[in-house]
Amino acid sequence: MELQTLTYWVVGLSFALYIGIAIWSRASSTSEFYVAGKHVHPIANGMATAADWMSAASFISMAGLIAFLGYEGGMYLMGWTGGYVLLATLLAPYLRKFGKFTVPEFIGDRYYSQLARVVAVVCLIFISFTYVAGQMRGVGIVFSRFLEVSIDSGLFIGMGIVFIYAVLGGMKGITYTQVAQYCVLIFAYTVPAIFIALQTTGSALPQIALGAEVLDGSGTLLAKLDQSLTDLGFGAYTTPFNDKSMIDVFAITLALMVGTAGLPHVIVRFFTVPKVRDARTSAGWALVFIAILYTTAPAVGALARTNMIQTVNGTEQQGTAYKEIPEWFKTWEDAGLIAWYDHNNDGRVQYAAGNAFTGKPEFDGDKRGKHGERIVKNPSEGKTAKNAPFANEIYVDRDIMVLANPEIAGLPNWVIALIAAGGIAAALSTAAGLLLVISVSVSHDLLKSTFTPQISEKNELLAGRIAAGVAIGIAGYLGLHPPAFVAQVVAFAFGLAASSLFPVILLGIFSKRMNKWGAISGMLSGLIFTMGYIIYFKGVFISPIAANVPENWLLGISPEGIGSIGMVINFAVAFTVSHFTSPPPAEVQELVEDIRVPQNS
């Protein structure tokens, strides 16, 4: 069957499954809409949590980052998985014991302040909308390639699907939809990885293939990749700190770690189980489900970069004539996510160190050059890398590496269609969770708990659905105009969570002395500093070229890692303000003591 037709069938059937589950599990009360009635089985909740947390950044972008960063790409693996352990051990059981619906509700009650609740909602909205922009871009990328529609059209289709099951089913519908989405995404991620690992090394386990001997007898996979990259003028794949400094890698890892523990759409998942013990159990299951993908990603990244170099440059590393380039290259070129500029005018596609373009390429309609290539507007002259035989001629969007990998390896069409469904499932599952958190914060934390406490449950549920619809519209706009590639946008969201919500949640559980003024001032200072830094360096107040120069960053820390500094500022301000203001009331301090008492129920 033709690839496009097969993809329509696979993706269409997955959509039908998601919508069917949403209709079956339609929420009929605010409890079901907010926390699925608190009766989700721990294993199902662990699977839903894994799908909620493993977004388009994990499925689509992370292996692409590892493919191009090599050793330094491990900061995403360490940060995100380490953060989940932090969340499962330090926060989740205590928040579940607290027994409320949302993170702002915990902050409002713990810090005995409606203002603290509102500030928490503001932080949550900034975090969630930044995060969801990356998911919507991921949806658009998948649709633009595999369904051969524009990125904008694909994004609108994704918005419509999310609207149906998020607005209709609430947390109940999203939970069971995410269970199905996890099954789709993990199958879609591991099957191509197994195929390519077998094809390259003869090992069926990608985790083993990463260090195994390749079948052509040229050494281990990593050794071969190291040699190929150094021959082309790049730093060795396994050598640390080629592209990022040690302090920046540390800062990004820390920001991702504590940001994970402060993500509201993940935390709320632990409110959906019946007991505190179930929160711990579901956290353990979620880590198992997450580990399947995260231990596979390094192999996927290495295999993808190896296959791309071999396919484009050929076995002799002299490049491939454009007229003979494989079809996958041209289809991704048509999608605007690969571009080629023939620096030496020899008609051959050549990949090496250096910059092919100053920024993302702009294609001049459907115009073609004398070699048949797409015409690119205003390409840079590139930079000839030291020891490289030619300047780089290719721009490759990092977000396509996982999606293009099966095509590069020449796998069957059904595998390619499967990975399209998996990428969409990963993006939609997280987008739905984020949008629901925004919806609940508006309807429950702002309306019911703050401004209109007399609102009926029916009207509160209606307000939640309206807020979800509006949030989807805003998310779609952000997806059309994202500030960076998927994983980088998501890293910004983690930085915002690290600098705003994580400190006050942690201190709310473990510090009886922390008061409302410390929490409010800490959240605001951390959020304002981190958000301002990201906005400044993403081309709003500084040129895009200067924005990417480490010498211009504070302490050499990039916008992706600045949340770690924002977190330190939050802690410092919160402790200082609390020290000079009155302590919390006695009943609040007793509440903190009660939360920390272990409970086996």
On average, the pLDDT of the chain sits at 80
Element (H, E) at 311: helix 297-313
Listed residue (501, 544, 565, 484) closest to 252, CA to CA = 565
pLDDT in tens, 40-53: 788 888 888 888 77
Mean pLDDT of 92-121: 84
pLDDT surpassing 80 at residue 586: yes
pLDDT surpassing 90 at residue 545: no
Residues with Cβ within 8 Å of 222's Cβ and at least 6 positions away in sequence, in order, are 210, 211, 237, 238, 302
Listed residue (549, 523, 531, 526) closest to 492, CA to CA = 531
Domains of the chain, each with CATH number or no CATH:
3-304+412-595 (1.20.1730.10)
pLDDT surpassing 80 at residue 22: no
Distance, in Å, from the CA atom of 320 to the CA atom of 579, rounded to the nearest integer, reads 67
- Check: CB of residue 485 under 8 Å from CB of residue 398: yes
* Pairing assessment for the beta strands 348-349 and 374-377 based on DSSP bridges: unpaired
Work out the pLDDT band at 197, boundaries 50, 70, 90. very high
Work out the pLDDT band at 389, boundaries 50, 70, 90. very low
pLDDT surpassing 70 at residue 65: yes
Q: What is the pLDDT of residue 149?
A: 72
Work out the pLDDT band at 384, boundaries 50, 70, 90. very low
Ranking 11-20, 23-32, 152-161, 589-598 by mean pLDDT, the lowest is 23-32
- Check: CB of residue 89 under 8 Å from CB of residue 497: no
Q: What is the pLDDT of residue 575?
A: 95
pLDDT surpassing 50 at residue 387: no
User: For a pLDDT cut of 90, what percent of the chain falls above it?
Assistant: 15
Q: What is the pLDDT of residue 134?
A: 72
Three-state secondary-structure class, residue 229 = helix
Q: What is the pLDDT of residue 62?
A: 83
Burial 370-396 (b: 16+ CB within 10 A, else e): eeebbebeebeebebbeebebbbbbbb
Torsion sign (Cα): 389, 390, 396, 398: positive
